[in-house]
Every structure is written in C-alpha cells, then in structure tokens.
Amino acid sequence: MTTSTVNGRGAGSNPTNRFEKISYEIIEEEIDPSNRVVTQFFRDTSKSALAKNDSPDIGFTFDLNPYRGCEHGCIYCYARPSHEYLGFSAGLDFETKIMVKLEIHHLLEKEFQKKSWRPSTISLSGNTDCYQPIERKLQLTRKCLEVLLKYRNPVGMITKNALITRDIDLLSELAALHLVNTTITITTLDKELHRKMEPRTSSPETRLDTIELLAKAGIPVGVSLSPIIPGLNDIEIPAIIKRAHEHGATFAFYTMLRLPYAVKDLFVEWLQQQYPEKAEKVINRIKEVREGKLNNAEFGKRMTGSGEIADSIGQLFDVTCKKYGLNEQTHHLRKDLFVGKHKKQTEQMDLF
C-alpha cells in the first residue's frame, strides 16, 4: 500500500483489493498542473437501473445510483469497499475512478414499464452521491428525476452537494404531488474539519443555504448528521440541528461511523495524519461504541452503535431534535399516483 497525502483528496493511499490475489504498487501517477490526481471516468454497462436492498435497518428497498465511486472523497465513506468489486481499490481509486451509467434514465424507464413493477420509494442515492461534480456536466440525476416525475414514482434524495438546487423545478413538481423528500448531510460546521474530511463537497454554510432554498420552494427537506464520529464531531450535534432548523429543516437523523473492510485502515491512516493529537482518543471512542472493535456490522447495532457513549449520543440527538421541533411531522410519499402497467396496489402511502 502506497501512502501519501494528496491535495484535494480524502484517501491518502490505495489499499490492496481484498478480492485480488495479487497486489500492485503505483509507480507513476498522472497529475494535473495543480498537483492533484486526475479523476478518470469509465462507462458503466450495467443492464439494470436499480439495486435491491434487503437490509432490515435501511428504510428503502430500491437504490438508484447514476455513478459508482464518488468524487467527493469523504474519508469515512462506507461505500468505498464496493469499488473493490470492480477491480479497483477502496482508497484513491474510489474517488478518482468513477463509473458512469450513461443510460441509467432509459434503464429506469424500462423498469417502470414492466407489469411486474410495484411503486416503491427509490433512494437517490445510497451508494454514491448523485450530485457529485460530474453531474453538473452529465445531468444523469436530472434525467432520472424527469423519469420519476413522468411515471409519478416516489423518491427520497440525499446529498452533500448544493447542485441539488439546480433541479428545484423538478423537485417542486414532485413535492406538489407528495412524491419526494430531500435530505442534506451535514457532518460538521467546522471549516477545517470539513476541508480535510470531505474535500470536494459543498461547504457547511452552503449546505445550510441549500436547505433554506429547498424549504422555501416547498420541498420537504431534512438533515442527516452522518456519520457521527465519537470524539471528533459528536460535540457538534446540537449546533448542527439548531442551524438546520433555522434554515428550514423539518426532520433529522444520524448514523454512527461505519468502518467496513478497507475503510478501517484508510480512516485510521487519515486520522493519524490529520489529527495526530486526537487520534488515540477518537479510535478508543469508536471502539467503545463498537464493542471493542473498529466496526460492528451487526443489524440493529451498525447504524447506532451500542454502549454508554452510543446511548448518550442518541439521547443528545433526540433531546435536541425535540427542542427544535424536528421529526414532529411525517412526510408520507404517495404510491397511488404511479402511471404504468402495474397491478392494483393495496398500499397507498409510503413513509421514507
């Protein structure tokens, strides 16, 4: 594994792919004039638009990912190991080698045209950020929203990028039909921590402004405090919820830091490089909410953690949400408006 600090990137290395029998060492990198690793984009020839989720602790069944990998480069991203299935690394490869599904909107329409399709809330997106920088040029997320609106299928959106405001016209139409919820993830209000931890995402203040713009347009919007990293950003929970509320957020949720497979080493490496004075404390706190390990994938525990510190974080979150009136409204998404060949539905609403 080659270790380095790369400007504008989250990961500083490319750990060995756990599926590969051999490893390799990077001996040369193509860099641009600003001394940053060049991002490469590859055509993704997937034949289906939707990934089906059967995890009991995730609130949606279908996931729509226009991209695989993510330019945002968030060091903690739980989706990094999915890049190993493509023969890439969970490290720098995840944020510099992006698979692009150029036909995804056509594939989505084919799904909706099937007689077997049952209207269901689709997550956009659960394994990437659908508004990462390349979306500004390719507009694949926007094309998918057009298909979702055409067929009146509900969608839940989550992003860290202010680019979502580009699509307020479509989101407003979906919201008028009770077909969309939007969530803006805010992990920190600290500019330095943001720059180091989420190098290519919109700034915290810009994300708050994004919440306000969505709310003023009548689009249901909430905030995700994900991930909560014990000893690093958990102290910010009250401030983030307060600011999000002031900008129009009506609901909130959080997940505890998850460090599956190679993400463990990547995160620890990053933590020791960027915050050497805090590293040991943070690592110990993580272990305290993960039953002595750095990760616990057990359903029922992986999203919230367990133990006294995890309980305290949950209580702080709940008390603060109650203080500012978040999560008092329920945002039901309609499924009975779907236009397609499906059989008669028994369920009329879906809560995302």
- CA-CA distance, 237 to 254, in Å (whole number)? 10
- CA-CA distance, 276 to 128, in Å (whole number)? 29
What are the E-state strand segments in 248-340? 251-256, 332-334
pLDDT value at residue 8: 61
DSSP 13: B
Task: Flag whether 26 is in a domain.
Answer: no
What is the number of structural domains in the chain? Answer: 1
145 in Cβ contact with 155 (< 8 Å): yes
Task: Flag whether 20 is in a domain.
Answer: no
Neighbours of 299 (CB within 10 A): 10
Q: Is the pLDDT of residue 52 over 60?
A: yes
Q: Is the pLDDT of residue 259 over 60?
A: yes
In our burial notation (b when 16+ CB lie closer than 10 A, e otherwise), range 152-170 reads bbbbbbbbbbbbbbbbbeb
Q: Helices in 153-201 by DSSP H: which ranges? A: 168-176, 191-197
Task: Flag whether 18 is in a domain.
Answer: no
275 in Cβ contact with 257 (< 8 Å): no
State the pLDDT confidence band at 311, using cuts at 50, 70 and 90.
Answer: very high
Cα dihedral 68→184→55→340 (10° resolution):
-80
68 in Cβ contact with 128 (< 8 Å): yes
Task: Flag whether 13 is in a domain.
Answer: no
DSSP 84: G
Q: Which amino acid is at 169?
A: D
Question: What is the chain's length?
Answer: 352
Task: Flag whether 6 is in a domain.
Answer: no
Nearest 5°: the CA angle 163, 216, 323 is 105
Q: Is the pLDDT of residue 193 over 50?
A: yes
Question: Taking all residues of the chain, what is their mean pLDDT, rounded to a whole number?
Answer: 89
pLDDT value at residue 250: 98
User: pLDDT, tens digit, for every residue of 117-132?
Assistant: 999 999 999 899 999 9
- CA-CA distance, 323 to 80, in Å (whole number)? 35
State the pLDDT confidence band at 348, using cuts at 50, 70 and 90.
Answer: very low
**Among 50-64, 153-167, 249-263, the least confident range:** 50-64
Q: Which amino acid is at 42?
A: F
User: pLDDT, tens digit, for every residue of 70-116?
Assistant: 999 999 999 999 999 899 999 999 999 999 999 999 999 999 999 99
Task: Flag whether 232 is in a domain.
Answer: yes
Q: Assign residue 132 the CATH number of its domain.
A: 3.80.30.30
pLDDT value at residue 345: 46
What is the residue range of 319's domain? Answer: 40-351
pLDDT value at residue 28: 33
Mean of pLDDT values over 250-256 = 97
- CA-CA distance, 48 to 122, in Å (whole number)? 14
Q: How many CA atoms lie within 13 A of 92 on its CB side?
A: 21
Q: Which of 46, 94, 43 is nearest to 70 (CA)?
A: 94
The SS3 call for residue 292 is coil
pTM for this entry: 0.88
Name the β-bridge partners of 50: 64
Task: Flag whether 33 is in a domain.
Answer: no
pLDDT value at residue 12: 58
Phi, psi of 92 (to 5 degrees): -60, -35
Task: Flag whether 16 is in a domain.
Answer: no
Mean of pLDDT values over 198-225 = 98
- CA-CA distance, 79 to 106, in Å (whole number)? 25
- CA-CA distance, 82 to 209, in Å (whole number)? 32
